[in-house]
Amino acid sequence: MPAEKSVGPLTRREWLAALAAACMALPAGRAAGQGRSVVSGVRIGAQSYSFRSQPLETTIASMQAIGLSFCELWQGHVETRDRIAVPEGGSRREALRAWRLDVPLDHFAGIRRRFDSAGIALTAYNLSFQRDFTDDEIRRGFEMARALGVDVITASAHLSVISRVEPVARDFGMRVAVHNHSRIAEDEFATPDDFEAALKGTRMIAINLDIGHFTAANFDAVEYLDRQHARIASLHIKDRKRDQGPNVPFGDGDTPIAAVLRRLRDRKWDIPAQIEYEYKGADTNEEVRRCLEYCRRALDGG
């Protein structure tokens, strides 16, 4: 959203009044669902990639059944293969670009309405701006996000594309939160220095901190959250071992999940904490439910 002038800290009464007004402005389904996965003041949701084995309609139903009321929408749930017609002799990448530029924006507005009806608030659209994105494709991504009713795009982006993304982000008044992985490589996001290179001199570039990958790359997620919370627009919550270790069930790895969640609670930092289920489990819904319960226990018990 556009930068706003600071008017000083709000009193608790003013903050609660503003929150109540915002909830009244939401569609009925969304407003009703807001409190279901707010734990000790922390918004717990899921990156819909967690449900990558399920189509979108099933994913929405699964999230509703589990009790999740916040979602970061993965582009793979939108840009499905059955929608992208690849001409004979053509490439899927070119077909995908053509689809992005031509698809009616009501397609995205319709997706938003389905989430609203389920009482699930969309916090961001996950569209990963890569080096091969054209300028028109970048701008169209913001139009898609606006049609979805979000003001944040999360992106597993290349650093080299950020200089083209930032001006469009300013035009739309929309933050782009770049996502880290654990592999340290040129033009990728993994280290604090990589984030710093993207943030330097920009207004609308933010951070989508994946605390599992950050830990696997041997960085301290709690210390980084303390330093950069004002520029972090989204957290991905997963557990991994240090030294490029594997994804594991919550509580079995080295990622300070509980400490990060309690920081959000105790400092009242309103950053959505999105569960990203990536370890190997028996049943997606059951595993995501276990992840949610782990987060609840961490916040209620510590």
Domain borders along the chain are: 37-301
State the pTM of this model: 0.87
155-214 residue pLDDT tens: 999 999 999 999 999 999 999 999 999 999 999 999 999 999 999 999 999 999 999 999
Whether the pLDDT of residue 13 is over 70: the answer is no
219-275 residue pLDDT tens: 999 999 999 999 999 999 999 999 999 999 999 999 999 999 999 999 999 999 999
Kind of pairing, strands 121-126 and 70-74? parallel
Whether the pLDDT of residue 21 is over 50: the answer is no
Q: Label residue 34 by pLDDT band (50, 70, 90).
A: low
Whether the pLDDT of residue 12 is over 80: the answer is no
CATH of domain 37-301: 3.20.20.150
φ, ψ of residue 149 to 5 degrees: the values are 80, 25
Quote the mean pLDDT of the chain. 90
273-302 residue pLDDT tens: 999 999 999 899 999 999 999 999 999 986
Closest CA to 99 of 71, 38, 140, 57: 140
3-state secondary structure the chain: CCCCCCCCCCCHHHHHHHHHHHHHHCCHHHHHHCCCCEECCEEEEEEHHHHCCCCHHHHHHHHHHHCCCEEEEEHHHCCCCCCCCCCCCCCHHHHHHHHHHHCCCHHHHHHHHHHHHCCCEEEEEECCCCCCCCHHHHHHHHHHHHHHCCCEEEECCCHHHHHHHHHHHHHHCCEEEEECCCCCCCCCCCCHHHHHHHHCCCCCEEEEEEHHHHHHCCCCHHHHHHHHHHHEEEEEECEECCCCCCEECCCCCCCCHHHHHHHHHHHCCCCCEEECCCCCCCCHHHHHHHHHHHHHHHHHHC
Determine how many CB atoms are found less than 10 A away from the CB of residue 157.
26
Closest CA to 217 of 191, 255, 254: 191
List CB contacts of 160: < 8 A, sequence separation 6 or more.
131, 187
